[in-house]
Structure 1
Amino acid sequence: MARVLIFYQYYCTPRGAWGTRYYEFTRRWAAAGHAVTVVTSIYDKSDLEPTGFVTEFRIEGVTIIAMNLRLSNKHGTLRRLWTFLQFSLLSVRYALTLPCDIVVASSGPITVGVPGLLAHWLRRKPLIFEVRDLWPEGAIQLGMLKNGIAQRIARAFERLCYRNSTTVVALSPGMAEGVRRVAPGARVAMIPNSADLDLFRPDVEIPESMRARHAGKLVVLYAGTLGRANSSIELVEIATELARRGASDVRIVVVGDGFERAGMERLALERGLANIDFIGVRPKTEVAQWHALADLTLCLFKPFPVLATCSPNKLFDSLAAGKPVVNNTDGWIRELLDRSGAGLSYAANDARAAAEAILALRHDPARRAAMGDRARRVAESEFARDRLAAEFEQLFRT
């Protein structure tokens, strides 16, 4: 059995309001006999509550070392970059001293490559570098990294991470292609985000207060970050178009928070929209209830090529819950929905097309039910956490 040291800045359990990939994977690896340590920081959607600058937790057999560096999607670019840099530099101590056989660095941010590379170079430890987002390409396309010199340095560091890794884990086919373009000789394994088939189910019990509040409505759920990469304002535009068409029985429910939330709420108020509710951040257990209540869900990103490679938690939660997905991205998500019949896609920033997709499903409950059944089946057959955690674990043995 291996001693696995992981650098990942967003660790969260189901009591929090963020993705639980590493909670779910690491507890399975620990149960299989591996000694697993995660070095992390404090994301504002996490449930970790530190008692000092460094707090050690023991969660389901996994050691969690949490540095009290606060990170939020609401923070500006410079503050986020400073937090990323602090985490990477302070993590070097653990990279050079903690007992381990394998090091995993999970990016973004790509700065987690610093402790990973040093453990690889100075201690000869195999490095598994995970790409959850294509950095720095995402930051460049979204205008967060504009300086030409900084871009060249970031791209050079990206190549360094890929070329010095035993394996690069990519979370989508598009990310895998992006890695191979940068480092053609890299060994790449595609292990996507996974579906929590136990927490997100079609038969989750819905609180009566939640059900009563939306009685008689077709509930369209968006559960995720309202940040720079997400096409958040598009939610208000869709609500506006639905109101214009007189679809008073359709309600958009927004569960989440982020940089753009305040502007969205202000715009909805200015337009007098009564068909969009902002619920805020909720723990994953309650998010599962909102999915059970919903009739269909939305998966939205801004129309940048790099975002078509994303592997968003909201997609896998919707599939596990057995809900049709209305998606605005190109790339692998559109291909998955087309192939599986688990949802519909339209072009980003086209509120009319989005409204038409929603209304088409409103008028056809049998089609909604069939799509929901197919969504659950594809979650079970392709994205079950037990199988994907086992695939990742195999990398410890090669």
Structure 2
Amino acid sequence: MKILYIHQYFRTPAEGGAIRSYYMARGLVEHGFEVELITAHNEPVAVTKIIDGITVHYLPVFYENEQGFWQRLYAFFKFMRLARKKARQITDVDICYATSTPLTIGLSAMSIKKEKNIPYLFEVRDLWPEAPFQMGVIKNRLLKKYLRRLEKKIYCQAQSIVALSPGIKEKIQETVPGKPVTVIPNMSDVDFFVPEAKKPELEKLFEVEGRFVVSYFGTIGLANHLEYLLAAANATLKAGLPVTFFIIGRGSQLPRLQYLVKHFGLTNVRFLPFQNKYNLKRVLNITDAAYVSFARKPVLETNSPNKFFDALAAGKLIITNTAGWVKDIVEEQKCGFYYDPDIPQEFVSRLQPFIEKQNLLNTYQQHARQVAETRFARSAQVARLIEVIS
């Protein structure tokens, strides 16, 4: 079977970031499927590469997280147009697998369905357009109405839908009752990320000897609202706890956060540049707890953040400031804790026992690894996708 896979933001482990599509596509290839993938890159010309058996077509569509709304929208529609054109050149396709965001990927999928007379599966990573509605990014009434209709049309025309969390599935089924929806969360790479003792040379390199390390890694955007982390760091500093916070990544809010750290004298907060998967492993070695952060918007409670799954695989204590299914897992499986981000002192009181009691920290970290192995292993997620496609 030949699959046409469409994902605007395809990344490999060497590039870092969200690499779900890489592992899904590679898993399909390893199980005998032929996969051609259409994506974009920030280069001036189109390029085709063979990556671990996947034929990847890179289209010239510039995109950065720091871009404004209209620049992003232009990039979305440009990719949609070029992807449709490229798809016409790819022959003998049996099914299209289109993954959002952006929602405009669905327009490409519907066009391919019509032109090639093949079905498509639609993967929903985030509830779009609900997320930008709640974040206040899209306010125009007519645009909202159009996007709502478009969302429903894309869902209706899909053969079936893959949701990355139970909350996303629930919202989709409210929009299109009766449509088949399968939950396939993001994955924990339990072969690559493994629990390991802190290496003294890395502790020295990062200057964290004798420190408890809390790391945030991922996008630094409005939706992540990392001001919550800064407030927690401030409360921790005032409490005199030996904690260092790392913020690792890139995004539109990075300059603002750097300014706030300097302005408020948060000497326990440090920034590291975006890391690929291999360098991230070094940072996780000296990390005790991973911080998962989102703004207090109901739609963001449905998210399936990559950082959460990587941290589980590495056996790290999970700290989340967001209600929803991640909070439920963390509390039910005793692999971390939730705190009210509007009460930074609660962060201090919840964290302190893990600083003072190494056995307690070890137990929760072991639970995290167990969750990764039993619920989110990469092989299990690929198997679920094959079942849906077949």
The one-letter code matched in structure 2 to 1:36 is V
Q: Which residue of 2 aligns with 1:391?
A: 384
**Pairing of 1:43-192 with structure 2 (within 5 A):** 50=43, 52-99=44-91, 100-192=93-185
Query: Deviation of residue 122 (structure 1)?
Result: 2.7
The whole-number CA distance in structure 1 between the counterparts of 2:29 and 2:278 is: 23
SS at match of 1:12: coil
Q: 1:225 corresponds to which residue?
A: 219
TM-score w.r.t. structure 1 length? Answer: 0.94
Q: Which amino acid aligns with 1:291?
A: L
- CA–CA distance in 2 between the matches of 1:136 and 1:207? 46
> Pick from 298, 309, 318: which aligns with 1:305?
298
Q: Give the equivalent residue in structure 1 for 2:28.
A: 29
Go from structure 1 to structure 2 and tell me whether the alpha carbon gap of 1:275 and 1:33 turns closer, same or farther (over 3 Å shift).
same
Cα distance change of structure 1 residues 368 and 24 upon mapping to structure 2, 3 Å threshold: same
Aligned CA-pair RMSD:
1.4
Whether 2:317 is the aligned partner of 1:318: answer no
Q: Distance in 2 between matches of 1:204 and 1:387?
A: 27
Structure 1 range deviating more: 134-143 or 90-99: 90-99
Does the CA contact (< 8 Å) of 1:228 and 1:259 recur in 2?
yes
Give % identity. Answer: 30
CA distance in 1 between counterparts of 2:162 and 2:189 reads 20
Tell me the amino acid that sits aligned with residue 219 of structure 2. T
The Cα shift of 1:203 comes to 2.2
Contact 2:164 2:185 in 1 (8 A): yes
Q: Partner letter of residue 229 of structure 1? A: A
Is 1:263 matched with 2:262?
A: no
2:36 aligned partner, one-letter code? T
Could you say if the C-alpha distance between residues 101 and 315 of structure 1 is closer, same or farther in structure 2, counting changes exceeding 3 Å?
same
| Corresponding residue number in structure 2 for 1:16 | 15
Q: Tell me, what secondary structure is at the counterpart of 1:5?
A: strand
**Aligned-residue offset at 1:19:** 1.4
For the Cα contact (< 8 Å) 2:202–2:282, is it kept in 1?
no
Q: Distance in 2 between matches of 1:296 and 1:22?
A: 26
Contact 1:223 1:254 in 2 (8 A): yes
Determine if contact 1:326/1:357 at 8 Å carries over to the other structure: no
Tell whether the 8 Å contact from 1:301 to 1:348 is kept in structure 2 after alignment. no
Q: Distance in 1 between matches of 2:61 and 2:320?
A: 34
* TM-score using structure 2 length: 0.96
Gaps of 5+ in 1: 44-49
Q: Deviations over 1:325-374 (max 9, x none)?
A: 01111111111112211110112333222222222321222111101001
TM superposition shift of 1:27: 1.0
Match 1:243 to one of 237, 252, 256: 237
Distance 2:331 2:265 in 1: 35
SS at match of 2:17: coil
Q: Match of 2:37?
A: 38
Distance of 1:350 and 1:60 partners within structure 2: 47
Q: Is the Cα–Cα contact under 8 Å of residues 206 and 289 in structure 1 kept in the other structure?
A: no
- Distance in 1 of aligned mates of 2:141 and 2:353: 46
Q: C-alpha distance in 1, partners of 2:202/2:287?
A: 14
Counterpart secondary structure, 1:22: helix
Matched, 1:371 2:364: yes
Name the counterpart of 2:340. Answer: 347
Residues 302 and 348, structure 1, Cα contact 8 Å, conserved in 2? no
* 4+ runs deviating over 6 angstroms: none
Equivalence for 2:266: 273
1:210 Cα offset (Å): 4.4
1: CA distance, partners of 2:62 / 2:359: 46
Amino acid in the other structure paired with 2:265: G
**Whole-Å separation in 2 of the counterparts to 1:130 and 1:246:** 46
**In 1, Cα distance between equivalents of 2:261 and 2:182:** 43
User: Which letter does structure 1 place at the counterpart of 2:259?
Assistant: R
Q: 1: CA distance between counterparts of 2:385 and 2:23?
A: 12
Range with bigger deviation, 278-287 or 165-174: 278-287
Tell me: CA distance 1:165–1:267, structure 2 relative to 1, closer, same or farther (3 Å).
same
Structure 2 distance, partners of 1:283, 1:197, is 17
- Unmatched 5+ stretches in structure 2: none
- Relative distance call for 1:36 and 1:204 in structure 2 (3 A) is farther
Distance, in Å, in 1 between the alignment partners of 2:131 and 2:89 is 32
Do the aligned partners of residues 337 and 265 (structure 1) sit closer, same or farther apart at CA in structure 2, a change above 3 Å counting? Answer: same
